[in-house]
């Protein structure tokens, strides 16, 4: 896939899936803006690894509407436009209903929805308004297998990703007349540092066994799906949600 000359904004782009997505776009010729929240060292390290030129790292919290607005303005100025938006940043807070306090329950829901749903919604708005004026673009949202099978240990996470799927499909219809194509990928477990303790612990064998491949996805496999959806020729996949879970969960 060739993205020569394209300008891409990737939230959560300094680690895990986001880093793999940033790297894949850069290798395909795009200029990438990596968005990170607070880990400057990780962002600088990721930025240094990107091949090509014109890349930038921007610090802002996607859950903060004002910060997101300023961050998009900075990205537009640094890149000279945004052709592709990848909403990858997300959080998952464990909050077992039978174990947490009511305050903890509310906090988990507020933080999760702000980051996983309202943040992407605001970025979609801000970037799509630019894309409308520019004549089109691509938006890919990173969802989760948990949107379909549920997340009993972190229900706010599953609910936020289910809502993100709905948002993606709503915008696919709303923005198609403007030449903007919107889709999502829904990974299962992915081999990143965020889940390393689970994969290396007692539950690792069970997690890998959820897939008939007896392993979890690599970040590059998720990135491959993102690039497909953002590529020329994938326009009629607008509104699609691509599962990247190694057949660990099959939905009709």
Give the residue numbers marked as catalytic.
144, 157, 161
CB-count burial class (<10 Å; 0-12, 13-18, 19+) for 236: exposed
What residues contact 57, with CB distance under 8 A and at least 6 apart?
13, 14, 33, 34, 35, 36, 40, 43, 44, 46, 47
- Nearest Cα neighbor of 63 from 12, 21, 17, 20 is 12
CA 164, 165, 170, 171 dihedral sign is positive
Q: What is the C-alpha radius of gyration for the chain, rounded to an integer number of angstroms?
A: 17
- Nearest Cα neighbor of 93 from 33, 153, 3, 27 is 153
Q: Is 33 left (phi over 0), alpha (psi -120 to 50) or beta?
A: beta
């Amino acid at each position: 896939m060739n993205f020569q000359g394209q300008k891409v904004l990737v939230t959560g782009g300094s680690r895990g899936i986001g880093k793999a997505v940033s790297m894949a776009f850069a290798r395909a010729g795009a200029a990438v803006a990596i968005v990170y929240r607070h880990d400057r060292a990780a962002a600088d390290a990721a930025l240094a690894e990107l091949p090509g030129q014109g890349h930038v790292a921007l610090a802002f919290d996607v859950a903060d509407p004002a910060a997101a607005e300023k961050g998009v303005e900075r990205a537009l100025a640094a890149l000279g436009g945004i052709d592709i938006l990848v909403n990858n940043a997300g959080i998952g807070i464990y909050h077992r209903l039978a174990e947490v306090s009511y305050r903890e329950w509310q906090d988990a829901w507020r933080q999760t929805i702000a980051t996983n749903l309202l943040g992407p919604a605001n970025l979609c708005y801000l970037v799509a308004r630019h894309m409308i004026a520019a004549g089109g673009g691509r938006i890919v949202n990173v969802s989760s297998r948990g949107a379909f099978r549920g997340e009993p240990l972190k229900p706010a996470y599953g609910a936020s990703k289910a809502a993100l799927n709905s948002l993606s499909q709503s915008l696919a219809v709303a923005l198609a007349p403007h030449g903007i194509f919107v889709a999502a990928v829904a990974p299962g477990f992915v081999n990143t540092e965020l889940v390393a303790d689970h994969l290396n612990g007692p539950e690792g064998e069970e997690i890998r066994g959820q897939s008939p491949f007896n392993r979890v996805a690599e970040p590059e496999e998720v990135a491959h799906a993102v690039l497909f959806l953002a590529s020329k020729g994938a326009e009629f996949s607008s509104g699609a949600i691509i599962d990247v879970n190694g057949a660990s969960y099959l939905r009709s």
